[in-house]
Amino acid sequence: MKVTVVGTGYVGLVSGACLADVGNDVLCLDVDPGKIRILESGGLPIHEPGLLEIVRRNVNAGRLAFTTDIERAARHGLVQFIAVGTPPDEDGSADLQYVLAAAKNIGRYMDDYRVVVDKSTVPVGTGDKVRTAIAEALAARGAQFEFAVVSNPEFLKEGAALDDFMRPDRIVVGAEDARAIALMHALYAPFQRNHERLLVMDIKSAELTKYAANAMLATRISFMNELANLAETLGADIELVRQGVGSDPRIGWHFLYAGCGYGGSCFPKDVKALVRTGHDAGHDLLVLSAVEEANDAQKRRLVAKITARFGDKLAGLRFALWGLAFKPNTDDMREAPSRVIVDELTRRGADIVAYDPVAVNEARRVFADRYPTLSYAAHPMDAVAGADALVIVTEWKEFRSPDFDAIRATLKQPVIFDGRNMYDPAAMRRHGIDYHGMGRC
């Protein structure tokens, strides 16, 4: 099947590559010539494990191509995926300008029946706006081609996006057009050979499903972080509480880890957008407002622990910081806790030497020259050397079992602030390390 994917970010590039990998003829469009140059030269504009290999394989096979030509893209695919950004507006609502621009361009240049699929995370009612944008563009050129609009939200985890696409838990399709539904079944058939995973519903329900899923996961994270803070005050251990709670099959184990807050391109933006959607509809979502407030506070929790130990004025002190990305296996720093922590510590006069396996280049771009006391290390122990304390912000696998005796010997003071509860407090005490976790005792 011929497929066009508009947008070559995480969602668009992963979707296009995976669809090509099962035999489809995929053309990825992006209006950013820089991204297309990177892709055409054999590189990637993003970091996602395994993606480079699958992109190169399908480009070499002739099933995957890239372009900035809008007309070519609109005329290529029977199915047109819109996978562009929906950044938060000033009021927290999702900015739909890129989605609607993509829809208009499809209407301007389509030359036959098209299934236009909203893959971007969009507010309820966006399907109607996309339909109107396409219809208006067709009317402006006096064309009368038929088309269908479908909502097909993505459920991809950065760092595991390929596996999520190839082996999905569910495939949500919001559509009312029988032909479009049949085409979506055919397109996704290779990814559900074991059993049917495609859930067909109306468009508005599909749009709300995506927001509901992310909001639920964000709620679990903030709830556990709030409990961790309470456990710390009461002298309880949040890790033991997690085990007791997670063993209940009604609750389960996922997203029950306390830490220094969630970040990334999805949870913060989608919680804000859903809160705004509720407000605009006359239904204030009190729980989600609290989730957002709790997460903002949690990003500063590590800083509070540091100042409680060293005082509010940190000039003359140096901190090793392990982890810059908002989570492992990605270089994405959007809304990452590290951004708040770096800002708060440098504002108090601290020097920071940061290490991350893949996000240093992104950090250099994000931070630019704003923090003269921030530098970067090529190895985790290089960051630790001569530091007054180690601060762990991202739970990269390579941080799980370091040489604690070497860390203790290398630090000026044997102090670890662990924002991801990677280590056992009793083990740290045996190593002679002053250990500060999140809700641990």
Tokens of 138: 């067709």
Query: CA 439 to CA 432: how far, in whole Å?
Result: 20
Give the active site residue among 18, 28, 260, 266: 266
23: left (phi over 0), alpha (psi -120 to 50) or beta: left
Query: CA 185 to CA 182: how far, in whole Å?
Result: 5
Residue 53 CB: number of other CB atoms within 10 A?
11
One-letter amino acid of 380: P
Helix, strand, or coil (residue 44)? coil
Residue 337 CB: number of other CB atoms within 10 A?
28
Query: CA 63 to CA 22: how far, in whole Å?
Result: 9
One-letter amino acid of 139: A
Query: CA 414 to CA 387: how far, in whole Å?
Result: 9
260 included as an active-site residue: no
Dihedral angle over CA of 85, 125, 132, 156, nearest 10:
30
Strands 114-118, 147-151: pairing kind: parallel
Maximum alpha-carbon separation in the chain: 78
Residue 364 CB: number of other CB atoms within 10 A?
13
Alpha helices in 118-202 (DSSP H): 126-140, 161-166, 178-188
Query: CA 372 to CA 341: how far, in whole Å?
Result: 15
69: left (phi over 0), alpha (psi -120 to 50) or beta: beta
Helix, strand, or coil (residue 421)? coil
- Annotated active-site positions, please? 266
